Structure 1
Amino acid sequence: MAIVYTSAIFQGTEIQKKQVQKYVSRRSQARKKYRRRSTFGVGKDGEQWVDYLDRHSLEIQDLMKLTRNKRRFYQQGIRAATLIRSIS
């Protein structure tokens, strides 16, 4: 359990360094005193998000064919997923 926890914290720290946290979890609000997600949560959610993209890539590509105006956001998300994959 300690190894998994340490790994998730390491991945969360790297995700925050590469500034792709906004794709994995919600941002904190300006008036809030505490962050919404811990470093552990960001690392764990980042891995789950990349796995989801891998599993459903064909469906996502079909949706992108239907909504061409969202292609730029899709490409930004794919770039973020590539950066997250390079961490693990």
Structure 2
Amino acid sequence: MPKVVNFFDLIHLNERLAQQGLLSKIHLRDTCGKQTLWIELPSGEKADEREKIDGQELEKTKEQIEAFFAIKGMTVEFDLTGGKNFWIV
């Protein structure tokens, strides 16, 4: 039976990110046969600084996502083209 991410999971995950001082937000897309989630990184003004911060923010966010779902007995897989999209496997 496929594992399902519900809206309460999403709320708790976003709260966890905020408690860790991360500005990222997690969003859910429900498509036929599979839920896809994606990471929204905070926007910034200076491109050079933003790229460095985005990379750090993304890595820390991914760590928190993996830890959150591991507690629920779920495994996360991130896309290979940037890692902002992910799903439960």
If the length of structure 1 is used for normalisation, what is the TM-score? 0.29
**Structure with higher RCO (Cα < 8 A, 6+ apart):** 1
Structure with greater helix percent:
1
Larger Rg: 1
User: Which structure is higher in strand share?
Assistant: 2
**Length-normalised TM-score, structure 2:** 0.29
